[in-house]
Structure 1
């Protein structure tokens, strides 16, 4: 799998979420081919990247970092948002059946809100 390497300009580190996506082979599916499980994984990785950016730089992740994250999943922000809109009930059902994923999303969201408020 061919991937781009992104290094955070502010902290000089490869964001963990991008590293996980690239090393785990998550991006091996065809571009735009989001499944429910991949969507949830991408959502969590997106929140992890945001948490890392807000806690280290007090700013949201750069467009380049987000684009690299989406690319690691073989997708882009437009496909992600379209999937969110088209599959809202399935997403809610998945999170109800997988409370650990919902708890992770809630915890990351709370950490981001806390970092923004600082």
Structure 2
């Protein structure tokens, strides 16, 4: 099944992620409908705006490995479904694969 994923914040992350996702998945950078959104080092405002624009789409936030817990809690409260500490494409890909179907689903935090 084809899935559309968009990465906002770093084109290098998008390129790395494209290599670990299933072949039938597509990376997209435009504003069309997507199955999942990856935000790279977002702030609360960016998460809040993305959630408002895409209320039913899972949002995965990539944060620095040393991001304080308060920052991560803020991102989750702003609307992120999950977060990943580090820019590890395999881990991000695993989190995205956990999403199935078109209905909203919450990721488990990594």
Identify the TM-score tier after normalising by the shorter chain. Answer: under 0.3
- TM-score normalised by structure 1 residue count: 0.26
Structure scoring higher RCO (CA < 8 A, sep ≥ 6) equals 1
Relative to its length, the structure with more helix (as a share) is: 1
Relative to its length, the structure with more strand (as a share) is: 2
